[in-house]
Amino acid sequence: MNLEWLKTGIGPLKDLLTFLHSEGKTSDVLKKQLIRELRNNLNIFHNAYLNKVPADMMIDLLANEAIKKGVEANFKFKKLKPGRIEPYHIKDERNRKYLGWEAEKLVDKIDEKIEELKNIKKMNGGSVVTVKNNVSLMLSNLYYRMKLLADFIMGPK
């Protein structure tokens, strides 16, 4: 699968991953799990780009279990970062449409996209190779949403 869209995001991703690692050191178990899951999912994109991993494998590796646990436990996702996404949080022009969103809404959209990708794969015999959906675009959108969430969490208080 072509991951060229990821080329421009690889450099800043290292700093985000380092930040998420340090941010994950909290006593709030659910918050720690959510940050860890976000970090791991971003790492999947990074390593998939470096190693030319197929979309099927990426979809298998993407996780949203911590998000599900957070929903079940009525976790307040604003604990990840209170407030709304401001212009200074947005590093990628394509994320302008998320201006004014709160962490909870963005996490919900990330969860929705991961579920959608996994379901498309299941509905098509365990592979997205021949699906009519634009899986590359879907993965790209997911990546940039997750990167925005990390930028938002990392941004000024």
User: Residue 41: is its pLDDT beyond 80?
Assistant: yes
The whole-number pLDDT of residue 22 equals 66
Of 101 and 27, the one with more pLDDT: 101
Summarize the confidence of residues 89-100 as an average pLDDT: 94
In the structure, what pLDDT confidence band is assigned to residue 23 with cuts at 50, 70 and 90? low
Q: How far is CA 14 from the centre of its chain?
A: 15
User: Residue 141: is its pLDDT beyond 80?
Assistant: yes
Report the percent of the chain where pLDDT is more than 70.
83
Helix axes 29-51, 135-154, angle to 10 degrees: 130
Report the percent of the chain where pLDDT is more than 90.
75
